[in-house]
Amino acid sequence: MARQRSTPLMSERVSGRGTQAWVGALMAGDEENWQVCVEKGLWGTGSNNGKSVRRGDEFFVWQSKSGWLARCVVTSDAIQPNRQNPAPWDDDRDYKWIFGIRVLKQLDAPYNPGSTDNVQNITLLHNIRLGQFPKLNIEQEMAVRSFFGLVNPPTTFEDELVEQEDNAHEQEILQRKLDGPVERLQLVKARRGQGLFRDNVLLIESFCRVTGLRVADHLRASHIKPWAKSDDQEKIDGNNGLLLSPHVDHLFDRGWIRFEADGMMVPSQRLDPAVLASWRIEPVWEKQSFNETQQMYLHYHEEFVFKS
């Protein structure tokens, strides 16, 4: 077993350039060494690429023969290890660069998307081997981020049409003669899942019904019956909303998934199964039945939004 080092890594320089994303490979069976990295907040690499790592970069951990394991943020610029700042493990490996890390999310079990002709499915990365330290391009980074539920899907032509309709409806609301600006403001905020609408949703829903996430700051208040199709009361009705993780909100909002009355998620037959696989979305997480008013809105979603 590797002996743990306790000396902290210090680096004061903060680069002004844009952030980058990197992949470090962990040997199969090296769970103890990974825990050293987590506890000490350090990573070491023997690749010359490591010299370009900077504070604020994104860092993903791939476990050999298992799959994607963790997403981290780099907390310090890379430096060459020395007596004051040693590598995280005390063994005979040739570490050329070390840098600080903080784990943002570790998967319960590594996820391996498989490969075809030595190229990893979904990410299109060449199969990752020990000793490699690849830098990801934008497309690869977004693909890897999807395994951790962090992808904002690209805008489609359908999205643009919905956006245009919502914009026109918002202008109509702003030009109305209501009792005062507060009423107009609340209706407009509801479009973005904010204001009184979000407060009302939080009185009914407490977690994402697909991912199980309960941290409200990272969940979107999403209309079941689309905002532009709802009347003023429906726009702010908490029963007309769900708390969803951003990628799940995209699927529900565009009709790629729906919900049964008992809380079961049902994907559209027109949805590519690779989407659910890459985002690690399961049909059932924690079923919880909807109330009667919610079911009324869900019937509308199934009939007019869901891609049957």
What residues contact 197, with CB distance under 8 A and at least 6 apart? 186, 189, 190, 221, 223, 235, 236, 237, 238, 241
CB 208 within 8 Å of CB 282: no
| Most confident listed range (2-16, 32-46, 230-244) | 230-244
* Mean of pLDDT values over 257-271: 92
Q: Which helix (H) or strand (E) holds 182?
A: helix 181-191
pLDDT score at 122: 77
- Phi/psi of residue 39, each to 5°? -70, -40
How do residues 162-178 score in pLDDT, each as one tens digit? 888 888 888 888 887 76
CB 105 within 8 Å of CB 70: yes
* Residue 13, pLDDT above cutoff 60: no
Q: Which of 168, 195, 305 is nearest to 249 (CA)?
A: 305
* Mean of pLDDT values over 6-27: 59
The rounded distance, in Å, linking the Cα atoms of 7 and 165 is 58
How do residues 104-126 score in pLDDT, each as one tens digit? 888 888 888 888 888 888 788 88
Rounded mean pLDDT of the chain? 83
Collapsing DSSP to helix, strand or coil, 59 comes out as strand
CATH number, domain 21-146: 3.10.590.10
The rounded distance, in Å, linking the Cα atoms of 77 and 66 is 28
Residues of the chain with CATH 3.10.590.10: 21-146
